Amino acid sequence: MALIVQKFGGTSVGSIERIEAVADLVVKTKQQGHQVVVVLSAMSGETNRLIELAKQIDSRPSARELDVLLTTGEQVSVSLLAMAIIKRGHSAVSLLADQVNIRTDNMFGKARIEEIAATRLKHELEHNRIAIIAGFQGRDIEGNITTLGRGGTDTSAVEIAGAINADECQIYTDVDGVYTTDPRIEPNARRMSHVTFEEMLEMASLGAKVLHIRSVEAAGKYNIPLRVLSSFNPDQGTLISFEEPDVQANIVSGIAFNRDESLIYVNGVHQGTENLAKILKLFAEFGIEIDMINQVNHNFEKIDYAFTVHTNDFEQALEILTSNQGGISAESIKGISNVAKVSAVGVGMKSHSGVASLFFNALADENIKVMLVSTSEIKISVLIDEKYLELAVRALHKVFLTENE
Amino acid sequence: MALIVQKFGGTSVGSIERIEAVADLVVKTKQQGHQVVVVLSAMSGETNRLIELAKQIDSRPSARELDVLLTTGEQVSVSLLAMAIIKRGHSAVSLLADQVNIRTDNMFGKARIEEIAATRLKHELEHNRIAIIAGFQGRDIEGNITTLGRGGTDTSAVEIAGAINADECQIYTDVDGVYTTDPRIEPNARRMSHVTFEEMLEMASLGAKVLHIRSVEAAGKYNIPLRVLSSFNPDQGTLISFEEPDVQANIVSGIAFNRDESLIYVNGVHQGTENLAKILKLFAEFGIEIDMINQVNHNFEKIDYAFTVHTNDFEQALEILTSNQGGISAESIKGISNVAKVSAVGVGMKSHSGVASLFFNALADENIKVMLVSTSEIKISVLIDEKYLELAVRALHKVFLTENE
């Protein structure tokens, strides 16, 4: 008998028919002898419907009240699933954030979980009930309703799994796992049966979009194996755990990419770290996050910097730097918005030299110019012209991930 | 400065436009210098939409889970109204049952309020905020969500008014007050500017349908004046309080009626109270409530009984009695379902003899046969053939309530 947390996203509970299918799946797990905790999103479309209602009243509605409004979406789905499971003759109970004591800070719309007491949840499990918990929501210390922001239900599921020391946290979604790269770009992309937390963190942050980075971090923190599965076809999936893949595994596990990057050059800055500090402070003041940073020293007096920012922040970042050009002593400031980042990720890299050589050769063979490079123990990332993105992904996938014939 | 509770029903918050109008009305009250607590129903149609969802899963859904589902309706309306008030530059905060500590028993779907701590509510009022509370909902002692059943939001409003010792509880609805009788039957029906709690209790229980009887009882218990108003035209209304109307007032305040009654005769029952006790026990076992009871003793051996029950219970009541005919020693059992009850209600009756005479003369003049009579200090009720209902209502309204020319 294992204690399993199963999370279902909006499309998995998007209709009464889908909710019935989820009920069957949950009951099947229970009948296999496991204790089951279910964490749900709102039915797909519901959150947008509610946001529309709010926007009709105020284009910038009160953040506290928006959270009160949005959390009704999960409340609807958990009660409906509980009804469907009870109808199948099993004991089930829906629970909201306050009933599970999911305490967060008071950052409405993007709260972070601080503590989960879970006393009642454990009580329900001891009484052999299937607990169905509303994801995405919490309560601050004063009892106000909060929401966790993007990817919130994944985070709820993993944090709840941590609080009750679950054996596995299963994330059911509309894809059947994590792929070696996006199958829409590379038809030969394969589902990975197993990746490590470290690899998944790199994947998530690089745009794999299957799991939100915060939920992967949390699963790593609690050391709870995560499994990504399709609710339409739950027999396969991808396991994410601390276990290293076996020796036969590929050196590179996946090719990740991100189209939403833009590049900014700040050239001819006077020597001295204080100027870089000034630039970073400007970005921080306006809430602009920087991904890659590159520095080239021309001589003892001048430095060229290159930064990448999210494309949404590109115009503002350029404006801020330009209006402070004197303060940061830059000779010129310019930007390129149509760039993309491509990365090869894999724990196998740690023990294999020569990966970088293969990586750059593959790009060189296709005459793809690299604008910026960034590396870690388990990944190599490069910035390239966006129009070569698909070509680069396919070239790298072929070198590192095509099965030997 | 007064402390005012304002309750708005489903049609009053039935669209974004209506919610904006309610926001204007609430802000106006606040600007007059009052402290304001608002209690809301779900947007009209929403509760039915949610019930439909539940029925798609289970024709008899879990009562606990149905309450979890239905309470989202009020959560949506309170958050939207709070947004609309905040947009108008006033401080407002939506509060749910657990945040106001509305503790009920655990009878899902028809819970009763046991206690309202209201600590946080008082705190919000002290900080000059408009508190907007979700009606219809409560929490049992274990923290489960409950709903109060029919008329629940009125009850919430009055109980909250009692808990904070409000100066007045205003019930905004789609009619502008309590009428002397139903204007659809008697076009000369007039809005009453003032009725007593006692009169209103008789009105409510006899089918006036403007206020649920439980909310009138609760307002009487806490001695909090109730005012029924139209949210479309809030300048008029009906005040319900313990004050007796002035001497100019009519002897009879209103003509109430109820079409949902059915009559059952149990004839030729052996003398002895134990047989009546047996009949009443049978009704109680099957949850059938009796309204009127009549008894005629033929002689020292045989008694005829007549009972009225809700028409929904008529068939079942007849069956139960017939299958127990021997046990209750009845010679015959028969029923008439197409009957109606008409009542004249008024605290003025207490001090006026001759009311009964006027009442029965009015019916006799129209050749309306009376099947059953029931009286209290402040009302006379009769059971008549349903087809004469409109005629009886008009005749009685003319005798007691037509203004002198």
pLDDT number for residue B369: 92
Average pLDDT of the segment spanning A155-160: 96
pLDDT at B245: 61
Residue of chain B with shortest Cα separation from A66: B79
pLDDT tens series, chain B, 405 aa: 899 999 999 999 999 999 999 999 999 999 999 999 999 999 999 999 999 999 999 999 999 999 999 999 999 999 999 999 999 999 999 999 999 999 999 999 999 999 999 999 999 999 999 999 999 999 999 999 999 987 799 999 999 999 999 999 999 988 888 889 988 899 999 888 888 988 888 887 655 667 878 888 889 999 999 999 988 777 788 999 987 766 556 789 899 999 889 999 999 998 878 888 899 999 988 888 898 888 888 777 888 999 999 999 999 999 999 999 999 989 999 999 999 999 999 888 877 778 888 999 999 999 999 999 988 888 999 999 999 999 999 999 999 988 653
- Residues of A within 8 A of B69 (CB-CB) are 75-76, 79-80, 83
Question: Which class would CATH give A244-405?
Answer: alpha beta
- Mean pLDDT in residue range A158-179: 92
Count of A-B CB contacts under 8 Å:
110
| Chain B residues within 8 Å of chain A (Cβ atoms) | 16, 19-20, 50, 53-54, 56-58, 61-62, 64-66, 68-69, 71-72, 75-76, 78-80, 82-84, 86-87, 93-94, 96, 98-99, 120, 143-145
pLDDT above 90 covers what percent of chain A? 68
For residue A168, give every residue at least 6 positions away whose Cβ sits within 8 Å of its Cβ, in sequence order, or none: A2, A4, A5, A161, A224, A225, A226, A227
Domain ranges across chain A: 3-174, 244-405
| Matching residue, tokens 């749900």 | A40
Take residue B276 and report the two structure tokens written for it: 């009546």
In chain B, count of helices (H) and strands (E)? 13, 20
The percent of residues in chain A predicted with pLDDT above 70, rounded, is: 97
Partner-chain contact B86 A54, CB within 8 Å: no
Alpha-carbon distance B6 to nearest alpha carbon in chain A (angstroms):
20
* Per-residue pLDDT, A21: 96
Across A29-84, the runs of DSSP E, i.e. the strands, are 35-40
Q: DSSP secondary structure string, B89-103? A: T--EEEE-HHHHTEE
Least confident residue range of A112-116, A206-210, A380-384, B102-106: A206-210
- Both structure tokens of B255: 């003509």
Angular region, A329: left φ>0, alpha ψ -120 to 50, beta rest: left
Residue B4, CB-side half-sphere exposure with 13 Å CA sphere: 21
Enumerate residues 6+ apart whose C-beta is below 8 A from A356: A375, A380
In this prediction the pTM is 0.82
CB contact at 8 A, A41 and A173: no
Give Rg (Cα) of chain B: 24
Distance, in angstroms, between A50 CA and closest chain B CA?
Answer: 8
Tell me which architecture the domain covering A3-174 has in CATH: 3-Layer(aba) Sandwich (3.40)
Test A76 with B72 for CB contact under 8 angstroms. Answer: yes
The predicted structure's pLDDT at residue A296: 82
Q: How confident is the model at residue A133 (pLDDT cuts 50, 70, 90)?
A: very high
* pLDDT score of A183: 86
Smallest CA–CA distance from A99 into chain B, residue: B143
Q: What confidence tens digit (pLDDT) does each residue in A314-353 have?
A: 999 999 999 999 999 899 999 999 999 999 998 888 777 7
Residue of chain A whose Cα is closest to the Cα of B87: A58
- Burial class from Cβ neighbours inside 10 Å (0-12, 13-18, 19+) for residue B353 reads exposed
Q: Cβ of B58 and A86 within 8 Å?
A: yes
Q: At A405, is the pLDDT very low, low, confident or very high (cuts 50, 70, 90)?
A: very low
Nearest CA in chain B to A123: B142
Name the helix (H) or strand (E) containing A65. helix A63-87
pLDDT of residue B405: 39
User: Nearest C-alpha of chain A: how many angstroms from B84?
Assistant: 6
